[in-house]
Amino acid sequence: MSMKAIIIGCLAALVALGAALEEHPHFCIKTDPILLSEIDRHVVIPSEEDLQCHIRATTLTQKEKASLVDTLCADHGSTTIKRDNHHFLRLRNGELTGRGAQAEVCANGGDSVLAWVPYHTVLQNYAAELNPKERLTYIAKATNVEREKTELCHFRHTDLVNAVSDNLFTCVVMIFGDNFYGLEDNINVLVELEPLAYQLRNITYLPWRNVTNSYKMHLGNSVLRNPSGERKPIYGSLNYAFVEKILVNMSSVYRQKKLSRLPLLFEHRSSVLELDSNGMGGLDVAEKAYFGRSMDPRSEVKVQVIGQWVDQHREFDADIYEYYGHGLKRFKETLTGGRLTFIRIDNTEPVFMDPESSNLAKASLFREQKVGQIKEDPSGNYTEWENAQEDEFDEDGPGFYCWFVVTCLLLALAIILGIYILVSAHNRRNKQRQMYEVANTNVPPPA
């Protein structure tokens, strides 16, 4: 497959991947907790972001999460809460993906990313996707401004799917069930956010590297000018751009079974690249190539800059982060021994189109004698290596040039000999003809 076809395929994959990882425009993740003082405000001026976020999830603080786990999982002396198994909703990119049980929160100690979503938002966006025949309860928290109190509670599945919106709705307090809240209070439903992708950050490349050279390409044209009246080195530069390809070996990342098969985001050149299912991505790169040469006074030379495509195979270590969207990420684990390939332009070099006369080399068929050089310059650069070269040259005998001269001489001798033989034969025939003509001169003419 040609490089052009590979690049086109990569770009198509990147377009498809960008659509797959596009974050929900109306789903936002907030990390600031909702305070009672904020709920009590009567005049609220929504910002542009608030108007755009139709679905807002606010993550639990560490203190909230610790209180949640303690309430759901610790023994508070109640005989009923031990038998309860309330549920929560799972969201990915603002979409409902499933539900989880209270026992899962207790099993992992609240290690997952938990958040609160307002009850009316859940009712409007997710209630229609639930089965009305199920008999479940969901975990929520209720905040009563008048009592300045926030408590965990649970409400019925049927209230959600049947869109109960009056005082029949009750959110029963989690411990002992001695109180309840209605829709006039601020009710938020517990949800678990699922990651959209893994992000490879803090990349550390290992020393091992294998390079495969590919073809060369034309990067651009330039001109070097020396306006001064003396010969001196002149330097220049040329800006060029290309698409750098990155191919991550997916098996070196997902060799651990506990990692889900999620898309990868790769941190490279202060940017985050979206990789497709094959681990390939691309980045527009702008570089500058430097070049120079010694130039005659008041001269100029045209330059073409070329570069060579190379495949650089590297190993790397990185930190794997779970990415949940809207800038929210969380450290997952450390990756060691990952492998990738950079497909980039390297080894740039100039090609001078108009060479100067003083920079041309003189070719000669004759080899100068080292003795003559020594006489002219006794302190010259006459090294042992050159002496060895001369000895080898002398030991090789006459060589091709001597044989050529001998052959030419023999050929000339043969030609001369042939001409001599032809001339001699011609002279003999002329003498015989003359003798015949003289012998016939004494014959009288006929009467």
Q: What pLDDT, on a 0 to 100 scale, did the predictor assign at position 374? A: 36
Q: What pLDDT, on a 0 to 100 scale, did the predictor assign at position 52? A: 77
Q: CA-CA distance, 27 to 54, in Å (whole number)?
A: 6
How far lies 188's CA from each of 51, 165, 205, 284, in Å? Answer: 19, 15, 45, 44
Q: Which of 193, 192, 195 is nearest to 87 (CA)?
A: 192
Instruction: Note whether 128 and 76 are same-domain residues.
Output: yes
422 lies in a domain? no
Q: What pLDDT, on a 0 to 100 scale, did the predictor assign at position 109? A: 82
Boundary (domain end) residue, out of 163, 193, 223: 193
Tens of pLDDT, residues 338-373: 999 999 998 899 998 865 555 444 444 434 444 334
Q: CA-CA distance, 38 to 143, in Å (whole number)?
A: 12
Cβ–Cβ under 8 Å, residues 297 and 169: no
Instruction: Note whether 355 and 399 are same-domain residues.
Output: no
pTM: 0.65
64 lies in a domain? yes
Q: CA-CA distance, 193 to 115, in Å (whole number)?
A: 7
Instruction: Note whether 205 and 340 are same-domain residues.
Output: yes
Q: What pLDDT, on a 0 to 100 scale, did the predictor assign at position 162? A: 86
Neighbours of 204 (CB within 10 A): 11
Q: CA-CA distance, 336 to 252, in Å (whole number)?
A: 9
444 lies in a domain? no
Q: CA-CA distance, 356 to 199, in Å (whole number)?
A: 54
Under-70 pLDDT residues of the chain: 1-20, 33-51, 75-84, 177, 256-257, 354-400, 433-447
Cβ–Cβ under 8 Å, residues 142 and 185: yes
Instruction: Note whether 53 and 179 are same-domain residues.
Output: yes
Instruction: Note whether 185 and 202 are same-domain residues.
Output: no
Q: What pLDDT, on a 0 to 100 scale, did the predictor assign at position 42? A: 44
Cβ–Cβ under 8 Å, residues 282 and 245: yes
Q: What pLDDT, on a 0 to 100 scale, did the predictor assign at position 7? A: 37
Tens of pLDDT, residues 222-276: 999 999 999 999 999 999 999 999 999 999 998 866 788 888 999 998 888 999 8
How far lies 243's CA from each of 11, 17, 218, 283, in Å? Answer: 10, 17, 14, 5
Instruction: Note whether 210 and 341 are same-domain residues.
Output: yes
Cβ–Cβ under 8 Å, residues 64 and 71: no
Instruction: Note whether 78 and 129 are same-domain residues.
Output: yes
Helix, strand or coil, per DSSP, at residue 84: coil
Instruction: Note whether 134 and 257 are same-domain residues.
Output: no
Q: CA-CA distance, 131 to 365, in Å (whole number)?
A: 96
Query: Amino acid letter at 14?
Result: L
Instruction: Note whether 35 and 154 are same-domain residues.
Output: yes
Dihedral angle sign, alpha carbons of residues 393, 397, 401, 405: positive
281: Cα within 13 Å, side-chain hemisphere = 22
Instruction: Note whether 215 and 355 are same-domain residues.
Output: yes
Instruction: Note whether 152 and 271 are same-domain residues.
Output: no
Number of structural domains (the chain) is 3
Q: CA-CA distance, 190 to 416, in Å (whole number)?
A: 115
Neighbours of 285 (CB within 10 A): 14
Dihedral angle sign, alpha carbons of residues 364, 367, 372, 377: positive
Q: What pLDDT, on a 0 to 100 scale, did the predictor assign at position 25? A: 77
Q: CA-CA distance, 405 to 288, in Å (whole number)?
A: 55
Element (H, E) at 141: strand 137-144
Neighbours of 50 (CB within 10 A): 12
Exposed / middle / buried, residue 196 (Cβ in 10 Å: 0-12, 13-18, 19+) = buried
Instruction: Note whether 66 and 147 are same-domain residues.
Output: yes
In this structure, the dihedral spanned by the alpha carbons of residues 113, 118, 124 and 125, taken in order and rounded to 10 degrees, is -10
Specify the CATH number for the domain of residue 311: 2.170.15.10
Q: What pLDDT, on a 0 to 100 scale, did the predictor assign at position 77? A: 57
Cβ–Cβ under 8 Å, residues 68 and 110: yes
Query: Amino acid letter at 66?
Result: A
* H-only helix segments in 45-95: 48-52, 62-73
Which DSSP string do the residues of 261-285 spell out, in sequence order?
A: ---EEEEETTEEEEP-TTSEEEEEE
Element (H, E) at 423: helix 399-439
The domain of 150 spans: 24-193
19 lies in a domain? no
